[in-house]
Chain A
Amino acid sequence: MRTYAIQRVLLLIPTLLVLSFIAFALIRFIPGDAALLMTEELGYAPNLEKLQERLGLTEPIHIQYFKWVGGFFRGDFGRSLWDGSPAADELVRRLPVTLELAFFSLFLSAIVAIPIGVFSAMRQDTKSDYIVRSTVVLADAVPHFWLATLILVLPAVYIGWSPPVGWHSLSEDPVKHLLLLLLPASIISVSSAASLVRITRTMMLEVLRQEYIRTAWSKGLSERSIMYRHALKNALIPVVTVFGLRVPNALNGSVVMEAVFGIPGLGRWTIDAIHFRDYPQLQVALMFTAITVLIANLIVDLAYGWLDPRVRYR
């Protein structure tokens, strides 16, 4: 297991290199650069070439790449092309907000979905199971931006209530902070919860057919301890996989919800960077989003060992 963990961590290095290449190349496919925007559209400076040179955009592309990657691995994330501020400063403020929102939503979806999935499996083919299953299909199909719009607009129109807006940081006012995040996090969690309910239910049904469950019944255990102690731990392995797969989704959802609810996370900042061709800013945003996903996947892989002793002792 330890060798496996070490291998798995080492594998992050080549993955990161490939990612850095993609993050670097992607935005450069969009025509136009920051200098062009500054001179032609905003008239900041009369001379395009000079400005491009000053911003380092005239250097050969591979030199630009190696400079950036070199800096990145030394902890220098570059400066914004527009205001010259270090991209890291803003990142440090914004990344935690996005992570918090994304993982808060994942946490919500897990604590709601797993018990529902277990319940639905226990009551297979009953009315409650059908209700759960059809709700899940619906929940999976609703796009979160649409749901967010409805939740913002409908109560405002009909009962004159609107969800809290504005921003309070965690250190400033923890209660208000969590209340602010609760609604957007719940909206993001809907579709993740739907897939988690489905996989939990399917896996529980699979596990409940196993002979060791019959053994557990023959010992006189209660349904509750059979479900949660004997069955769920076996069923959880694929559930954890799906949970891991939902991490990019939750980050994606956060970006949208930040825009809808005016939350100062990575989302707006990333979109602005694309808009203004602020290469260093976008690259650092993409890299850290990707690193988050990689770390989440790493944790998922290591969690298998915790859940399944057969993996642990290999």
Chain B
Amino acid sequence: MTEFGDVPEYLLTVEGLKTHFFSRSGVVKAVDGISYDVREGETLAIVGESGCGKSVGALSIMRLVSSPPGRIVDGRVLFDGADLLEVSESQMRTIRGNRIAMIFQEPMTSLNPVLTIGKQITESLELHLKMQGAEAQKRAVELLEMVGIPDAPSRLKQYPHQFSGGMRQRVMIAMAMSCNPRLLIADEPTTALDVTIQAQILELIKNLSAQLGTAVIIITHNLGVVARYADRVNVMYAGKIIERGTAIDIYENPQHPYTQGLLDSVPRLDEDRKRKLESIEGMPPDLMNLPAGCAFQPRCKYAIERCVEETPPLLTVGDGHTAACWVTAGSTSEVGA
């Protein structure tokens, strides 16, 4: 792992991040000690079912977890040699929207209904790039054209309700890319869109990131998205990363029973059509009251005694491929990253 002050090997390094929510009935460990890194220009997918902590983990990087009740209780987020959890709020504001940008799941409600699209795009330009008036307008037109919105000059004067869902997500992307961020965090960017539009938006994100050299963290529960667009994948379950590897590792050779279960539950084009889709037995755990040992153990058909006694760390199963499972990974390997 990179030390503070070293030339960063990675654009972003998250170490032992813990974000908990403190409610009257107890502590919800939404993110419970995750570590990962993102290289310059790569696309990292974070996969998991609803409530596994993937969105909270991303919001924690931006320090946007609503507090109270949420609090980042531990960990480091190294970006460009600085720990984002330590910098002042005003320094953080110069990073948000400028060097790290974010797009959200719901384009219908993520744009401010009473401000024009132009205003919403130019305010970032004015704030971070100190552009003004005509210059900012010109750049805003370029941005809309870049994300494929026709008739950009007149579209700038319009309000979000005059755009379709897909177009709004394009506007969100234009806003996010406006200051040429080094890292784009896309939190379920296509979940609320029609299937045909989903592909267009994902292609757009992929092309822009390649063109501008932006690294992307894409948060999704759609494994199809992962297969097509991600370089590397983190699979999350109950606030922890339980498997990590390249997209090929995850698809060809899933090691964690949960990852295997996820893959068995989606149809694939490259296999026998008659295969029955499997579902994972049981329910996701209550984050306030996690089972002992491995959080997946109550639902796992391979569970052994050790799974209840001891939480498995990420164990190396291949080059850059790790999985947190005593059974499938434990026999062949030692403790990894």
A309: contacting residue among B98, B113, B127, B175, CB under 8 A: B113
Are A221 and B114 interface neighbours, CB within 8 A?
A: no
Q: How many residues on the A side are at the interface (Cβ–Cβ under 8 A)? A: 22
A66 to B92, CA, bound (A): 72
Residues of A within 8 A of B124 (CB): 219-220
Chain A nearest CB, measured from B162 CB (Å): 7
Instruction: Evaluate contact between A215 and B127: CB separation under 8 angstroms.
Output: no
Inter-subunit contact B97/A219 (CB<8 Å)? yes
**Would you give the 0/1 interface string for A214-248, flagging 1 where the beta carbon is closer than 8 Å to chain B?**
11111111100100011001100000000000000
Residue of chain B at shortest CB distance from A124: B68
A217 and B112 in contact, given A309-B159, A309-B161 (Cβ under 8 angstroms)? no
| Contact A219-B112, Cβ < 8 Å, known A211-B104, A211-B106 | no
Known A-B contacts A211-B106, A310-B161; A218 and B96 likewise in contact (beta carbons under 8 Å) = yes
Q: Is B95 close to A, CB under 8 A?
A: yes
Residue A158 is within 8 A (CB to CB) of chain B in the complex: no
Contact of A233 with B97 in the complex, beta carbons under 8 Å: no
Tell me, yes or no, whether A73 is within 8 Å of chain B by CB. no
Interface residues on B, range: 20 to 34
User: Least Cβ distance of A60 to chain B in Å?
Assistant: 56
By beta carbon, the residue of chain A nearest B159 is: A309
Can you list 22 A-B contacts with CB-CB less than 8 angstroms, sorted by A residue number? A211-B104, A211-B106, A212-B110, A214-B64, A215-B112, A216-B112, A218-B102, A218-B104, A219-B96, A219-B101, A220-B94, A220-B96, A220-B124, A220-B127, A220-B128, A230-B112, A233-B114, A234-B112, A234-B114, A308-B114, A309-B159, A310-B113
| Further pairs besides A215-B104, A219-B124, A234-B112: 20, Cβ < 8 Å | A211-B106, A214-B64, A215-B172, A215-B175, A218-B64, A218-B101, A219-B97, A219-B127, A220-B92, A220-B93, A220-B96, A220-B124, A220-B128, A221-B127, A222-B93, A234-B114, A308-B113, A309-B159, A309-B161, A313-B162
Which residues of B are in contact with A by a Cβ distance under 8 Å?
62, 64, 92-98, 101-102, 104, 106, 109-115, 123-124, 127-128, 159, 161-162, 172, 175
